[in-house]
Each structure stands twice: as C-alpha cells, then as structure tokens.
Structure 1
Amino acid sequence: MDITLPDAGGAGFQDRRAGATAVPGDVFEGITAAAIAVNDEGIIVAANGPSEKLFHRSADELVGQDAHDLLHRDRRGHPLPRSRCGLRMALLTHSTRHCDLDWFTCGDGTVLGLAWLITPYGLDAGASGALVLLYQPQDVPEAHQDKTEESERLTELDRLALLAETTTQLTTTLNVDEALHRLAALTVPRLADWAVVDLITEVDEVRRTLVMQHADGLLVERPDLQGPMPPVPQESPMPLSRALRGAASTIASPSTYQGPPDSGIAVEQQRLFTETGMHSAAIAPIRGMREVLGALTLGRSNRRESFTASDLPLLEDLTRRAGLALENARLYQRQRKVAETMQRHLLPQMPIVPGLQMTARYVPAPHASQVGGDWYDAFSLTDGATALAIGDVVGHDLDAAGGMAQIRNMLRAFVWTHPGSPSTAVTHLDQAVMHIVQEPMATMILARLTMGDDGFWKLHWTNAGHPPPLLITHDGQTRFLTGGHGMLLGTGGPSPRTDAVLTLPPRSTLVLYTDGLIESRRHTLDDGMDRLRRHAASLAHRPLDSFSDSLLAQARPDDNDDDVAFLALRIPTAGRTN
C-alpha cells in the first residue's frame, strides 16, 4: 500500500475538543487511509473521517483520549501493557516505525487486526507529536477481525492457565463473598460481559448472591439485581432451575424465557435478560462434594458471538473448582461459628463484689482464623476473696475451645480445693493438664483479690507465661506487673511457681488481657505493650465500661488476626465497700 505523507505546514485549526492542541489544517490532506494525530503524550488531537468509520467512533469520542488506552489491545481484546506498545516507543523516541499487524478495539466491541505507520509531525505553536496511519493488511484472515468470532476461544495453554489461576485464587481464601468476587474477576471480561452467581443457602433457599458487569473497563457490581430468589421448582425444564438441581450445563438466551413463565425463577430470569441486555448465556451448576451449592451464569451482551456447546466444558471445569472452594469456605465458617458460639457460652458472667467494679470483653478474630483459645474467669470464694483468671490455649477453633473449657473447669476445682496461694493451684493444674487435656500448652494468670482490714485491696497472683497485667493509676501512671512469672502450662518443666503480692492504689484500674491485644506482624511485642500502656494512661479517667471499649478499639493492632479476652476492674476509694 503506497501512502504519501503530507508536508507539515499550512493554516492551523483547532480540533473539535475545546482547549486541545492545535494541528495544521492540511494534516490529513491527500490521506485516504484512517489517520489520527497525537501529541507527545499520546493524546489524540485530531482524527479524519476514515478513522471514525474504521473505529466506529466519532471524532468527539476519539479526540482528547489517550490513544493507547482507548484503542490498543492484544489479540484477544485485553488491555495491552504500555511497555509492549510499539506506537508509544516510537512516540517517545520521535522516530518513524511501521508494524505489519497489531490489534485495536472499536466502539462496537470488535477487535481489528491493523497495520500502522507512525511518523513525527509538527503541531502548531512549536508543539510536536506524530501522525499515525492505520490500514487493514491484505493477509489477515477475516476470522481475526472480531474478537467475538474467536469466542475468546482460549488455546489449550490459555485454558490450563485459567484453570490453574482459578484454583489458586479460590483456594487461598476462606471467605465466601471474596471467593465469589474472585470468580467473577476470573471470568469477566475474559469469557463474558456478565457473571451471575445464585447460591442455595443452608436452609434450602436460593439467593442471587452476586451480579457483576464489565463496563467501561471496570468490574461493576449490580446490587439492584441481587437478592432472594423464588424456590427451585422440581419439574421445571428451564436452564437455571435445572442447574440448581444439579443438571448439566446448558446454553440460554432471551428466547428461552419467552412465553408464560413456569415458575418464579423463570420470572427472575426474564428480568435478568431484560435488565442486562444479554443475548446469550451459559449456565452451569456449582457442585460441592456432597450437594449442589448453586449456579454460575456467564452472559454476553456487548459481544456479538453467542455461547456454543464447545464453551461448556471449560465452564464446568471452572464451576467444579468454585464448588470445592465454596464448600471449604462454608465448612470453615460453620466451624468458626460453632467455636465462637461455644466459647461465648463458656465464658462466665462477672460476679458482683461490693465496692468493686468489674467488666470483661471477648472480641473474636477479625478474619475468622484464630478463634477458640482465649478465655477469662472470675468467681467469689468461700473466704471472701475473688478469683481472677485469664488465659490462652495454644491452638485454634474447636480444639482450642475444648481445651479452654477443660482447663477453666479444672482450674476452678483446684482453686476451691487449694485456697490461698495461686501458685499452688496452678502447680496442681499444670500436672493435671499434662495427662488430661489434648491441647495442653497454655498461658494463664491466676489471681486472688482481697480487701484487708485497713480497707486496701491486695492482689496475689502467679503468671504462667502470660503477658503481664497492667495497672493504671487514676492520674494516668502505668505499670506492668511482672512478678510471679513462671513457665506456661503443659511444658512439664520442674521450675517451681511463685506468687507476687501488691496493694492496689485506690481508684486504680487493673487490666488482664490476652496477646491478641498487643501482638502485631509489623511491630515487636514491646511496641505493642507500649501502645497498650500509652492508650490506657490516656483513658484512666473514664468510667470502666467506656475505658474498656475505647482501649480495645485503640490499642489493638490493625493487622492482628487473633481473638482477645479482656478483664478489667476498678479499685474503689480506700475504706469504701459499696
């Protein structure tokens, strides 16, 4: 193809976008091929008639846009990295280059295989840019002119890569919602313009859980199309109803749901096709190991090609992987819920001690991976003392929750049978833990709180490898109680345990806590303890409930994925008992 480039010069004119760079008026004179002019930043500053026709876009839609972002794609219509853009390389080096075949997207969604020639060109007012000519080469097969005509037909390598990516993406999360969003991102826009997920809940109800659309280069969720669905009809031959019963995948279109609907689900499907503009959909069941979990619908609205039977094996491979991942996520969330419920029921109510304020909190792990081992306890003894305990069993979920229950119950028994020294009760508990509890490793603090004849409260405690209690005076001075420290439970070590004793200042606050309040992946344990100390000092004047809630919210690290048990008490003014 012979192309004669115009000479730079002649009268200038403004393009159709206000404020755009001026280009010479005769820039397209004598050019019958599609041509655009770009400035040094790759922004289109002018376009001729053939380019509007070629790209199915008006000049107003072209001018002012980044040519690479708007037009340049890879062979399958996916965005092309700038590092692979030959046009930009030529523009940056102010050189003339030619390419026999590259790929560009049009306003109607098609992808064209085009040859191009770029050459530097002077714009008005001393600005520089380039002139780009685009034309269809003679040797490009017609089937390559439209990405939809390839049906995103992936090569075997592409297909295997997609399945591997799906496995990786879906098995690295135990959150159902996150897994569904990842599934949508894997399939849209690679395979379709829409992804719709209908899930069967644990009470056999159907919910349209996710509807995602590819629009303007972004994945957009459509909550207006999500929500509860009618029951699954047992005899309906409609594709979604069959998929939710576990039948094989199938193809659907708006015509599938024309005529009187046979069920409420068919009504919803009619609405879905109308609202989304889908002209073709592929629907497959999402199966777990034991049951059908739901269905995935992939729909096409912008692409001209319809789904065919050859697309279904890949869709079924995807939903098979999705089913296993969703089933694992559901089982994990169910286990976590059981563990958390069990733990909450095992945690006791605070006793009423005249003159003493006491409160406790339990905060589950934010990301559902560390529930089960943290606990607290407080109860009154026959001699008038109050027993306080806090601990953390090594392990997570049901095993840790079960171990926690055993340790707490045995501790109560030993405290009752060995009144007085906390270290004596913990020594007996340690011996029992080694032979009885399946998850024997644990840290804990056991304390006895008593009021002397002088009206002052005294704390006797022993520490089995647990973070030290924090004492905060009313004027904001803080102190970690490091005395009475010994080995954690379940090690079998012979080291004797000791007690520590402290008279608590009037109006002071004592805080017992588990390590979820101070541990962070980004900071040291000392940093966490200092953070706790500083926040506690600033809150010392607050009422106890407000103090506790604020301290948990402010001191707990953002990146901690552990649960927290928390016990706080406020000492009254000396001599007061009510």
Structure 2
Amino acid sequence: MSGADRTGEPGVLRAVFDGLGAGIYATDATGRLIAANPRAERMVARPAARMLGHDMHDLLHRDADGQRIPRENCRMLQVLADGRPREGGDEYLLRGDGTTLPVIWSAALLELPGEPPGLVLAFHDFSVRRAAERQTAAYLQALEALTARLTVVSEVSSVLISSLDIPRMLRKLGRMLVPDLADWTAVDVLTGQPDEVLRIAVHSAADPEAAGELEGPLPSLAESAGADLVRALRGAGTVSLDAADLAREPDTPLTAAHRGLFDRLGGHSAVVVPLHSRRRVFGAFTVARTGDSPPYTEDEMMMLADIGRRAGLAMDNARLFDQQRHVAETMQRQLLTPLPQVDHLQMAARYRPAQVAAEIGGDWYDAFLLEDGVTTMVIGDVVGHDLQAAAHMAEVRNMLRALAWDRREPPSLIMRRLDEAMTNTSDAPMATMVFARIEGREGGPWRLHWVNAGHPPPLLVEAGGGTRFLEAGHGPLLGMSATLNLGLHWPDAYEDLPPEATVVFYTDGLVESRTRPIDTGMELLCRNASALARHGLEEFCDELLERLDPRGDDVALLALRLPRYGEGAPGDRTPSPSRGEPAHSPADPSRSAPGAEALGAEEVFTQAPHGADRPPPP
C-alpha cells in the first residue's frame, strides 16, 4: 500500500529545504536574497538574517583572490536575463570571516506566484577537491623535478663509466652541468704530489675563451689552509657560497685563485663539491650561477653532492684499473721473451692481449740459441685468455726450452717429448705450436727446419713480394695424443729460405675473429705482407698489425728477416743491421735474450750444423 502524495505540503517542502546536503540561495527578480537554507549559512559562515535583502552578487560573489567580479560577468545572474539554467565549477563565495570558498554550482529560474521569476542557486563546497587538485599538481611538479634530476644523474653516470681517461671524463662532466645546473663550472684535481692542485677544466657557454685561460696550476694547499676550496679538498663536504661570501676579500692564495673565476665569469652563488670515494678525495668541482639564475636549493646541493660522490668512485675505479693494468703489463713483459740478435739475422715480435683490462693471455712467441749454435723460433697458443692461461703458457714455454736446449734431435722428437711432459707433469690444457730451427752457414744459404702442432702455418714472404704458406710438418695439438693414447706423431718439414725473405710466425688471433673467417684473414695476411715485403722489419710488423686490425683474441707475431746472400760470411765487412742493440720485442728491456750470454754472436753460424741434404752455397 503506497503512501499519499504530500509534495504540496508546506512542512514537507520546508524539511527538504532545511535538510538538503547542498547550500541553497533564492533571490527575487532583482537578485536580492529572499531565502537561504541552514547548509548555506554554515558553508559561508553567515546567518541568514544578515544576508536576506542584500544583493547576492555584491555580497557573496568573488574571484579566487577575493576581489569583486563585474556584475556583467556574473554567470549566475545571467540566468535571470535569459532564463536558461547554468552550472559551473570555478566560482568563489565570500565567507563571513573574509576567506573565499570555492564552489561548484547550478542555477535556474525560480517561479514565484504573482511575481517576476527569481533565481535559485544550489552549491557544494569544492575546497576539498580543490585542495586535492593542488596536492596532485604539487606531486606532479615534484615528480617532474625528481625525474629531471634522475635524468641528469643518469646522464652523468653514463659519462662517468664511458671512459677511463680521467681528465677527459671530468671535462665532459663539467660541460654536462651547463646550463641545467650551472652557468659555468670548474674542475680542480689533486695531482698526487703533496699539496699540489691543478685546474684541469673550466667551462662557460657565455665566455669559453676566458674559461680556457683560467685552467692551469693553482697555489699550494699548504699556503691556504682556510680556503673554501681547501675545505672541500680536505673532505669537509659540500661548501655553499652566497653573494656575501663571494664579496669578502680573499685571505689566502688559493682563495684568490678561486675568486678569480668569479671575477672573470661572474656569479652570485656557487657550490664547491668534493670528488671523493670512501678512501680518498681526488679533487673538487665548482658550479656557479650568474645574472637572474636563482640560488641553489637544498635539493640541488644534495644532487650535486651525489654527482661528486659518483665522479669520485669513477676516478677511484679508473685509478685501480690503471694499477691493475700496470701490474698485468709488467707481468706479461716479464713472461715474454727478449729476442736474440744473431749476426745479420733480424727478428721482431709483437703481442696484443685479447682483454684490454688484463693485458695478459696464453699466446706467446719465443726465440733462443741452442747449445749447437742454431737459432730457434717458436710461436704458440695455450687455451684461454687470462692469468691462468699465461701461467700455463710460461710452463709450456719453459718445458720446451729445457727439452730443446742440449738435444741435437729433430723438432719432431722434441715435440713428442713435450707432449708427453705436458700430459704427465703439467695441468696445462691443449696448446698449438710451431717449433722451428734456422739452419745454415755464415752468409747463407739458410734452411727452415720445423714442426707444426695444430698451429696456423708460417708465411714465407720473398723479397719481391711473393708469398706462400709453409703448410708441411702438420701434426696434432699438444696435450692430445699422449692423453688419448693415439700414438700420433709430428713430421719434420724443411724449406730453403731465399735471401732477404721474411718468415712470419703468428697466432690465430691475427687472422680470425667473430666477424672474419680464418680463410679471409689468411688471404688478407698474404696480400698485406706482400705489399710490405720491402719495408723495414719493424715497420713491417707495425703496419701489418695496423692493416689487419685483429680484435677479440690474443695476438702474438714473430718475424724473421734474412740478409742478402753472403752478408755475414767470413771476410764480409757489411755491418750487422743492429749490432750491439737488442732486437725489438714487447718483453721487459731489463731482461736479456735467452742463450745470448752462453754463445757469442760470432760463434753462431760457425757451429751451426749443415745437414747432408743441404745444397752447396751458390
């Protein structure tokens, strides 16, 4: 059973008017207030008795700043003019306490019996939503600022890890901070000498010429104990400078030098940031703002301090890397062999590691004199590209020297003994190798007697440019036959060497890489070696490496250049190409060539064997 319709009852309408959850104002045809519900009274903090009879627009309607709005611009009153309902969300009502209340509203005509139509206005408090919008906008603004700072830090980090060249890295850092964080920057570093400071970079987009003139040595730290820059360099943290600080008269030499930056480039505020790691301070950089740029905020100072810490860590890593590289390079140079200088024979060697950071690997070359006066040449490659591979390389190399020194045996037998020794007395993995003897009389002719254990073949380059690979003498890799009990052997090979020819021994890293198959690499080796046949041996080696540009693997290169026929023979007075000087090699210069002290150069060819199958001298 439904209730009776009581819409027309005055009591019901009054209850609705008083209990509505929105503020209600009613005006007559002129815009004067004739009614206000309790909700409206509370929202604008004005009792109805003090509002009734007043013009609603003049009394209540304001803009966001609390200023009056021209009557002709009032959208609420326009309902009285044309009778069309309107609504809005960007209006303000003046409260009794003088503050403004943001509202969303809806207005329509109010039909009054026997009178011209008036206006009824319903509105809600919009302050909560407006505050939420402002809070959201503030969050977005903070997020945008944080994103911008993170972008700068990310870009700076990319620069810091992109190079191990510290001066270059710091110059790029200084340029990156202009203009987003500074109008100019300066970078000062401790040189490593006591209290010595060097300004290595000044960057100013407005005056690059003046910036460059400000670089160079700075006064000693010892003479400027209280300077702002000294505080940063001594690890006291980030130092902020305002206009008052910069206006003070410099009281130390270093302060005067620091103020010189501001005298030439300007600035009203600055931050001096130490470049530091946990262990030490490496220097400091100064960022400054000029003209209308705002002073530095706390957030910006924190970000600059973080950049200084990141840069210091990068400098520390670069320093440690340099130390590690120096140790590895020293070790490698000690492992590599100085080349003997044997009368008119010329030798040269080169070595390039696969890992730039390690500067060490398993490829090697060797050349030494045997007890019988014959010169040997060796090129080899132990599996691996690290410190362990280098240790195995040294082990295999020394075993070969010991086995070859006092045995007048063909290379094939020495290779078999080495294979057995590696298997039974060493943990060295498999290796490839060419072991060769250069046999002949003083002044020639000469013969190459060699054996090849799975290694790329030597290249013979004749003086006229003709080339051919010496592919004979091939046998299995070292460390495989004895391990698997295969009973394999290594055949001896012989080749008569023409005068002024060059023999090139190399490891596979010279001719093979991920992007270049070995067949292509060997073809390039022949072509370039032929073109360089008439170059000096040192230039030959350097240019060959430059043209082939090996990448991705260790590379060892050993080259032999023969003299003209008759040079070095008894009675010949032609001077040796490098008499009294060691042959060039990557080995440590303090080391002497193996066997050089045991056998003088004058004895080498007189004691060398001349096998029965040798042709007579021409």
Q: Above 0.5 in TM-score?
A: yes
Please tell me the residue identity of whatever aligns with 1:210. Answer: A
Alpha carbons of structure 1 residues 154 and 472: separation in structure 2 relative to 1, 3 Å: same
Matches within 5 A, 1:388-537: 388-392=377-381, 402-416=391-405, 418-429=407-418, 440=429, 443-451=432-440, 455-485=444-474, 494=484, 496=488, 498=490, 499-515=492-508, 517-519=510-512, 522-537=515-530
Who is 1:107 aligned against?
none
Matches within 5 A, 1:146-295: 155-204=145-194, 205-214=196-205, 223-233=212-222, 236-252=225-241, 256=245, 261-295=250-284
SS at match of 1:304: coil
Alpha carbons of structure 1 residues 521 and 262: separation in structure 2 relative to 1, 3 Å: farther
If asked which structure has higher relative contact order (CA below 8 Å, sep 6+), I would say 2
1:572 to 544, 553, 563: 563
Deviation at 1:470, TM superposition (A): 1.5
Deviation string, structure 1 residues 310-360 (Cα, Å, up to 9, x no partner)? 321111222222222221122112211222233334433322323422233
Structure 1: which 5+ runs fail to align?
1-150
Alpha-carbon displacement from aligned partner over 1:276-316 (angstroms, at most 9, x marks no partner): 33433222112223222222222233652122333211112
**1: distance between equivalents of 2:520 and 2:438?**
29
CA distance in structure 2 between the aligned counterparts of 1:544 and 1:197, rounded to whole angstroms: 46
Q: Which has the larger radius of gyration?
A: 2
Q: Are 2:319 and 1:326 aligned?
A: no
- Tell me whether 1:354 sits opposite 2:343 in the alignment: yes
Determine helix, strand or coil for the equivalent of 1:155: helix
1:315 paired with 2:304, answer yes
CA contact (8 A) 2:366 2:378 kept: yes
Distance in 2 (alpha carbons) for counterparts of 1:184 and 1:429: 58
| Distance change in 2, residues 1:244/1:162 (3 Å) | same
Deviation at 1:381, TM superposition (A): 0.5
Would the alpha carbon gap of residues 469 and 276 (structure 1) be closer, same or farther in structure 2, given more than 3 Å must change? farther
Cα 1:481–1:210 change in 2 (3 A) is: farther
- Asked whether the 8 Å contact 1:233–1:263 carries over to 2, the reply is no
Aligned to 2:102: none
Letter in 2 for 1:157: T
Asked whether the 8 Å contact 1:393–1:442 carries over to 2, the reply is yes
| Number of aligned residues | 423
Q: Distance in 1 between matches of 2:505 and 2:209?
A: 46
Secondary structure of 2:221 counterpart = coil
Report the AA paired with residue 413 of structure 1: A
User: 1:534 is matched by which residue type in structure 2?
Assistant: R
Q: In 1, distance between residues paired with 2:147 and 2:398?
A: 59
3-state SS in 2 of match to 1:534: helix
Contact 1:516/1:556, CA 8 A, preserved across alignment: no
Structure 2 residue corresponding to 1:371, chosen from 359, 362, 368: 359
Say if 1:280 and 1:259 are closer, same or farther in 2 by CA, change over 3 A.
closer
**Structure 1's 363 and 152: CA in aligned 2 closer, same or farther, altered over 3 A?**
farther
Query: What's 2:585 paired with?
Result: none
Distance in structure 2 (CA, Å) of the matches to 1:253 and 1:442: 68
| Alpha carbons 2:439, 2:446 under 8 Å: kept | yes
Contact 1:462–1:497 under 8 Å retained in 2 = no
Deviation at 1:396, TM superposition (A): 5.1
**Which residue of the partner structure matches residue 534 of structure 2?**
541
Query: CA shift at 1:255, angstroms?
Result: 5.3
- Checking the alignment, whether the CA contact within 8 Å between 1:455 and 1:575 is kept in structure 2 is yes
Distance 1:356 1:291, change over 3 A: same
In the alignment, the residues of structure 2 paired with residue 292 and residue 436 of structure 1 have an alpha-carbon distance, to the nearest angstrom, of: 50
Q: Which residue of 2 aligns with 1:556?
A: 548
In 2, Cα distance between equivalents of 1:215 and 1:486: 70
Q: How does 1:69-108 map to 2 (within 5 A)?
A: none
* Match in the other structure for 1:344: 333
Distance 1:206 1:484, change over 3 A: farther
User: Which residue identity does 2:178 align to in structure 1?
Assistant: V
Equivalent residue number for residue 579 of structure 2: none
Partners of 2:179 and 2:428 in 1: CA distance: 48
Residues 442-490 of structure 1, C-alpha deviations (whole Å, 9 max, x = no match): 5443222212799432223334454432110111111122334456556
Displacement of 1:550 in angstroms is: 3.4
**AA in 2 matched with 1:342:** M
Could you tell me whether the CA contact under 8 Å between 2:164 and 2:318 is conserved in 1? yes
The Cα of 1:426 is off from its aligned counterpart by 4.4
TM-score (norm: length of structure 1): 0.63
What CA distance in whole angstroms lies between the structure 1 residues aligned with 2:231 and 2:428?
47
Instruction: Judge conservation of contact 1:188–1:194 (CA < 8 Å) in 2.
Output: yes
**Percentage of pairs with the same residue:** 44
Q: Is the 8 A contact 1:336 1:397 kept in 2?
A: no
Summarize the Cα distance change of 1:186–1:518 in structure 2 as closer, same or farther, 3 Å threshold.
Answer: farther
Q: 1:518 to 1:239 in 2, by over 3 A?
A: farther
Q: Give the Cα separation in 2 of the matches to 1:399 and 1:175.
A: 28
Unaligned 5+ runs, structure 2: 1-140, 570-618
